[in-house]
Amino acid sequence: MKYCVIGAGLAGLVFGAMAVKDGHEVVIYDKNPVPGGVLALCEVGDYRFEQGPLLMCDLLPGEPMSNLLAEFGIHLDLMRADRNVEMPDYSMHRPEQYEGPYWRRERLKQLFPDDAAGLDAYYRFYDRMMRVRYHLNRKLSPGSTLALAASFLPVARYARMTAQELVEHFFKDQKLQALYTGILADYCADPREVWGLAVPLTNLETGFDDRIPLEKNGKHVLGGFGYIRGGCQKIAEALADYITKNGGVIKLNTVVDRVLIENGTAVGVRLANGSQEKADVVAGSGSGRDFFGNAVGMEHLDDGYRRILETYRPMEAVFMVHAGVDFDPVKVLGTALCYCYGSYDLSKATERLRAGQYHDGEDGFLLFIPSYHAPEFAPDGKHCLTVYTVAPDTLCDGDWEAKKELYADHLLEKAERYLPDLRQHITVRKIMTAADYREMTHMRKSSFGGTVPVWHQKNPPHKTPVKNLWFIGQQSENGGGLWR
């Protein structure tokens, strides 16, 4: 069968590789000059920067994504990753000497003695959730389904809570609650709208100290985060290589503007240059609203699918400053990734974000050093630093192009709280706004990272009402990666 895949981002490449492996003829189209979508690198002078994923979950050896890639003969060179957290008036830094898997619990008990019992209870619950996660990640079989059900029973009563209710159940102090919900800012999500069990699943303790063992009794039971040595675009390169070596074709600098549909069945695609290509199966990625609104046509959908397209919530945007620097930020920060929060009230911050109010760095940002796992991204003796934060797709006052230089100055100034005199050590800088991400992803709006994991809200399903048409990628039903 012939498959036409729209988009050579992570989704299109994985889909294409699977189709090639199954013996199908595959053509992938992408408007960009290189495959990868947001995995592609950004070059600034002698420096290179990552524009998409920082670190990946489930990709370490033996974990589900690594097993999937192994089916294509792809074995990435990974290093375990962790991060520090800066709250407005306390910090969680990976201890210099390893203090065991529960070091955060013990340190938090010292900072929040009134919450000591709650912390013990949370970590008992967390350990149970890690058992659930382990069984969820195993291949489905009657035995594993039973084990999953048994592991879920002790945590079932928490499954009715939102993230906010869950942290309020365990902790009294808002400053402590925010430590566990803070990560939801990455998804532009309000803790009042996210499923409670997402809290332990997005706060893997292994993500705060890469020395916490992933194995118990010789079995790989805990999830970990990893950096890909040489950068995340290595996944795109390896998948593209697999596809083309196995007969697939990737057509770059090529925009698809229409899915051809006859009698409710997808039969091919029309390119922006007017040419047409017939296909037995079409898969589209990118923005759900753009894809179905423009390339497919809403008239081909049923009411149910249309309703999902109207109601699902894509994430907003990012504001990012890449800087080449003449010092090693890892030596100052003690880590290659640092989450710096400026507010304890994530609900208010999310409300502002959705109203188009950019927080100008006040609500928080990330410090990320890509040259840690990819030293070749910077010239000898230099390093790469990315400072970034979630931001509205569309500003309520002014536009990104006009404001970006000023906002970049403010963000770097705030970063100096953790990297003193940073601005005096910058050799090159590049600013990325919502507009740049729209261009890179071929989306008209909300081009950052996927969908907000709003509990009970459906994202566009892979299977569409049009026969032989599939929707894949960051805005499809997997929930932007938060839940499989």
Ligand X SMILES: Cc1cc2nc3c(=O)[nH]c(=O)nc-3n(C[C@H](O)[C@H](O)[C@H](O)COP(=O)(O)OP(=O)(O)OC[C@H]3O[C@@H](n4cnc5c(N)ncnc54)[C@H](O)[C@@H]3O)c2cc1C
Q: Does 208 bind ligand X (CB under 6 A)?
A: no
The answer to whether residue 206 forms part of the interface with ligand X (CB under 6 A) is no
Closest distance between ligand X and the C-beta of residue 479, in Å?
A: 11
Q: How many CA atoms lie within 13 A of 388 on its CB side?
A: 30
Place of tokens 């084990």: 147
By the rule CB under 6 A, 335 interacts with ligand X: no
The distance of closest approach from Cβ of residue 120 to ligand X in the complex, given in angstroms and rounded to an integer, is 30
**What burial letters (b/e) apply to 381-402, b meaning 16+ CB within 10 Å?**
ebbbbbbbbbbbbebeeeebee
Interacting stretch for ligand X, rule CB under 6 A, among 31-39, 194-202, 211-219, 413-421?
Answer: 31-39
Q: Tell me the number of residues near ligand X by CB under 6 A.
A: 33
* Beta pairing class for 2-6 and 281-284: parallel
Say if residues 340 and 365 touch (Cβ distance below 8 Å).
yes
Provide the total of helices (H) and of strands (E) in the chain, helices listed first.
15, 22
Q: Binding pattern to ligand X, positions 270-299, x when CB under 6 A? A: ---------------xx--------x----
Q: How far is the CB of 215 from ligand X (least distance, A)?
A: 23
Least distance to ligand X, CB of residue 60, Å: 13
Q: Where are the beta strands (DSSP E) in 354-480?
A: 364-368, 383-391, 426-432, 469-471
**Residue 344 in contact with ligand X, rule: CB under 6 A:** no
Q: Using the rule CB under 6 A, which residue among 27, 189, 256, 385 binds ligand X? A: 256
> What angle (nearest 5°) sits at the alpha carbon of residue 65, between those of residues 136 and 63?
60
Q: What residues numbered 41-80 form the site for ligand X, per CB under 6 A?
A: 52-56
Contact 390, 186 (CB under 8 A): yes
Spell out, one character per residue from 449 to 468, where the chain touches ligand X: x when CB under 6 A holds, - when not. Answer: xx------------------
In the complex, minimum distance from the CB of residue 171 to ligand X, in angstroms, rounded to a whole number: 26
Yes or no: say if 338 and 86 are a contact pair by the CB < 8 Å rule.
Answer: yes
What DSSP character marks residue 200? H
Measured CA to CA, the distance from residue 227 to residue 211 in angstroms comes to: 15
Q: Pick the stretch among 9-17, 209-217, 375-383, 415-423 that binds ligand X (CB under 6 A).
A: 9-17
Check binding of 188 to ligand X (CB under 6 A): no
DSSP, collapsed to helix, strand or coil, labels residue 252 as: coil
Q: Which of 4, 5, 12, 408 binds ligand X (CB under 6 A)?
A: 12
Query: What is the closest distance, in whole angstroms, from the C-beta atom of residue 8 to ligand X in the complex?
Result: 6
Amino acid at 78: L
Candidates 27, 28, 31, 342; binder of ligand X (CB under 6 A) is 31
> Which residues ranging from 407 to 446 are in contact with ligand X (CB under 6 A)?
441-442
Q: Which is nearer to ligand X, 119 or 188 (CB)?
A: 188
Alpha-carbon span 171 to 229, nearest angstrom = 38
Instruction: Kindly write down the DSSP assignment for every residue of 206-239, as one continuous string.
Output: GGT-TTS-SEETTEE-S--EEEETT-THHHHHHH
Decide whether 32 or 164 has the Cβ nearer to ligand X.
32
Which of 49, 312, 407, 448 touches ligand X (CB under 6 A)? 448
β pairing state of 84-87 and 256-262: unpaired
With contacts defined by CB under 6 A, name the span among 1-9, 62-70, 81-89, 275-283 that binds ligand X.
1-9
Give whichever of 329 and 450 is closer to ligand X, judged by the CB atom: 450
Give yes or no for a contact between 119 and 109, defined as CB atoms under 8 angstroms apart.
yes
Residue 11 interacts with ligand X (CB under 6 A)?
yes
Please report where in the chains the tokens 């695609």 appear, as a residue.
269
CB of 116 to ligand X, least distance (A): 32
Q: Does 39 bind ligand X (CB under 6 A)?
A: yes
Task: State the burial class of residue 121 (Cβ atoms within 10 Å of its Cβ: 0-12, 13-18, 19+).
Answer: middle
Residues that bind ligand X (CB under 6 A): 6-12, 29-32, 37-39, 52-56, 255-256, 285-286, 295, 318, 441-442, 448-450, 473-474, 481
